[in-house]
Structure 1
Amino acid sequence: MEKPRVAVIMVPFPAQGHLNQLMQLSCLISSYGIPVHYVGSAIHNRQAKVRINGLNHEDVEKIHFRDIPTPSSVSPPPDPNSPDKPPTQLQPLWDSLSLREPVASYLRDMANKFERVVVVHDSLMAVVVQDVSSILNAESYVFNCISAFTKAVFTLDLLGKPLPIEHPKELPSFEGCITDEIRDFLALQFEPLSYRAGDLYNTCRLIEQDYMELIEKEEIVGSRKSWAIGPILPAKLSSSANQSEIHNRCLEWLDKQEINSVIYVSFGTTTSLSDEQIKELAYGLEQSKVKFLWVLRDADKRDIFDGQVRRAELPDGFEERVEGVGMVVREWAPQPQILAHPSTGGFVSHCGWNSCIESITMGVPIAAWPMHSDQPNNSVLITEILKMGLLVRDWKQRTELVKASIIKNILKILMASKEGDELRKRAEELAATVYQATQQGGASKLELDSFISHITRGNDI
């Protein structure tokens, strides 16, 4: 009996922004009729399935989930009062990622069942999947969950080279972006990354061409191939009937607002604001008189299902005073659908790449408020290069309290000024560009087709 041709094994990094992108990619590859297996701990596979904003449940059900037993680790709460914002509460989880042996065993088992095994892994999981190099009918590809611009900045900095393209005079410093422990974790990936056969990017060449060309230079990637296949978020977001109550409540509230009248506020899954900063943000929103939808949640812990979550305090009487003008959400919210809603006209964002690419896709300008990791450089891409946003505060002032008066002024510029209208127009133009790129014959669709053709080629690995 002949073996099936190809299986794709997804190995995501256990943090929401990474789980999400590899889940989206899983559904895309599965749409070509290729079996896709999503590998992770039981907790994180469950997390990926619960938080499938924008994806069709029927598409997710086609994915095969493989739970890998993982050692327990402490799950400390995030520290909202830390002056620097990297998600140190997740460090014990990352330090305990002893998945190499069980993943290697699983890959060897799959290699016996299929003619070819294609491993697509997060760049931060190179250590875990490194044994793919010893399996004759297997190959691995890195999926990069950051922008091409940020990848170029990081890569050239490691090589001790300047960015050879015109850019803002001073790029954000790396100080405060990551901790020493995270830097050590990144360093562990360097050698195993050399085993990869190619690179995938959740971006579009039409908006990041110069930076894609930089990171594709032979001195950086050798003879490896690269594919810019983004945005990988579905062009048509799911509208299935079995959505959560909060999903429906958010969208029903937006249905009652005027077009482009609402600012969406969210800082992602790895940032916890201090009580003092939350109060300043609340007062800034209130004083601006701008309509808002604010997702006020604490950062994720290792186990998002343990039920122990800090409930941040708002100023006394705030929600009563802004009733009819603003909505505060404390649960998981349907971000892609919120950004796609006609009433949403702006986004106060930490500039994680998920949020950036979703905002680009939906044509929503950003008030950029980066917190850590790739976010400071993403904010430069958004505000200075793509010119579809403005900066809330400079990275040099990252440890300072952002006062209500600054927030109020930024919101009024973005939502009620000629400058804001121009940023919105630019965002809408970029959205049209990337939409065309993902359609049949478009730049990103052609690259995705090329990747699929490459991994389903004959037996010449």
Structure 2
Amino acid sequence: RLYSCCPASTMTQTQSGEDPTEVQNSSLSSSMYSCENLPNHVVTIVMVPFPAQGHLNQLLQLSCLISSYGLPVYYVCSATHNRQARIRANALNPSDIAKIHFHDLPTPEFDSPSPDFNALSKFPSHLQPLWDASMLLREPIASFLGDISSKAKRVIVVHDLLMSYNVQDVSSLPNVESYVFNCISVFTSFCLQSLSGGRMSIQHEEELLKKLPSLEGIATDEARDFSASQRRYMDIRSGDIYNTSKVIEGKFLDLLAQVASDQNKKNWEIGPVLPTRLDRISN
């Protein structure tokens, strides 16, 4: 069962039917931290994950990979989910995790209904209240980015696609740029863009179109609306990062690269980021 814990200020769940990106909470505007002791690095990396385990873990794996090159990495999420990311870390050395700077944002208050094991769909819809509440993190994230950008010459924000609303204020900081980290496969991204509202601007081979699976039943209406609400804030990104490789998904990477080029964006495949050889793992 999920729980809520708010150390300094509280966030409330959005009301049913509201657009989560329209919800504001003035109590979150106060600073929850101090950046006075942040070192003056040339480049600083800020990770902003989405609060769901499969998303938290992938960005933590990427954080450890980037940190191994000597760059400072800040992992910015609610206190509850930072703790979850550390406890449930998969295939990572504890010594590598210890190098990551975890910054705790106020943990949102949210309803935590039990999952319905008898539901026809296995989509985790019981987590929707949490996801809605996570959209209240824009102000504390913006405050953190403002402070850290004053200490570093260049700040790179790598954020989950589903946190695009929360990081939109990077556009107001001249030395900060953002990149979307896609936790789903390139094939899934391709299918979603091809079959959702005709947004894909390239021509497909007819046989390829016939092979694309239906999107029916893969998510609830609320989850689809939540994802769609993030799209309007993605134009500020400098590019997209995919946890894959050309060997695995080369054809679909090439297809998405055509779309990225049309949008004046760049794509990078950097995965799999899961470590393959470890002396000691965390789990």
| TM-score (ref. length: structure 1) | 0.50
Aligned residues: 241
How many Å separate the matches in 2 of 1:164 and 1:145? Answer: 26
Q: 1:72 to 1:123 in 2, by over 3 A?
A: same
Are 1:151 and 2:192 an aligned pair? Answer: no
User: Greater relative contact order (Cα 8 A, min sep 6): structure 1 or 2?
Assistant: 2
How many Å separate the matches in 2 of 1:195 and 1:233? Answer: 28
Q: Which residue number corresponds to residue 103 of structure 1? A: 141
Render the CA deviation track for 1:430-459: whole Å, top value 9, x for unaligned: xxxxxxxxxxxxxxxxxxxxxxxxxxxxxx
Are 1:22 and 2:63 an aligned pair? Answer: no
Q: Which residue number corresponds to residue 215 of structure 1? A: 256
Are 1:62 and 2:103 an aligned pair? Answer: no
Q: What secondary structure does 1:235 align onto?
A: coil
How many Å separate the matches in 2 of 1:186 and 1:104? Answer: 21
Q: 1:188 to 1:168 in 2, by over 3 A?
A: closer
Q: 1:131 to 1:205 in 2, by over 3 A?
A: same
Bigger proportion of residues as helix? 1
Q: 1:134 to 1:221 in 2, by over 3 A?
A: farther
State the superposition RMSD in angstroms: 1.9
Superposed displacement of residue 100, structure 1: 0.3
Render the CA deviation track for 1:276-304: whole Å, top value 9, x for unaligned: xxxxxxxxxxxxxxxxxxxxxxxxxxxxx
1:118 aligns with one of 143, 156, 160: 156
Q: 1:163 to 1:77 in 2, by over 3 A?
A: farther
Gaps of 5+ in 1: 244-333, 335-461
How many Å separate the matches in 2 of 1:81 and 1:185? Answer: 24
- Alignment map for 1:44-55 (pairs within 5 Å): 44-55=81-92
Contact 2:48 2:75 survives alignment (8 Å): yes
1:74 aligns with one of 96, 106, 111: 111
Q: 1:70 to 1:164 in 2, by over 3 A?
A: farther
Render the CA deviation track for 1:362-386: whole Å, top value 9, x for unaligned: xxxxxxxxxxxxxxxxxxxxxxxxx
Superposed displacement of residue 166, structure 1: 4.4
1:175 aligns with one of 213, 216, 221: 216
Contact 2:80 2:107 survives alignment (8 Å): no
> How much identity, in percent, do the aligned residues show?
54
2:244 aligns with one of 189, 203, 214: 203
- Alignment map for 1:304-453 (pairs within 5 Å): none
AA in 1 matched with 2:132: D
Superposed displacement of residue 172, structure 1: 2.6
Contact 1:85 1:176 survives alignment (8 Å): no
Q: 1:99 to 1:221 in 2, by over 3 A?
A: farther
Gaps of 5+ in 2: 1-38
Contact 1:9 1:39 survives alignment (8 Å): yes
Q: Which residue number corresponds to residue 34 of structure 2? A: none
How many Å separate the matches in 2 of 1:45 and 1:55? Answer: 15
How many Å separate the matches in 2 of 1:170 and 1:198? Answer: 28
How many Å separate the matches in 2 of 1:227 and 1:6? Answer: 19
| TM-score (ref. length: structure 2) | 0.80
Q: Which residue number corresponds to residue 186 of structure 1? A: 227
Q: 1:96 to 1:233 in 2, by over 3 A?
A: same
How many Å separate the matches in 1 of 2:42 and 2:206? Answer: 43
Q: 1:221 to 1:177 in 2, by over 3 A?
A: farther
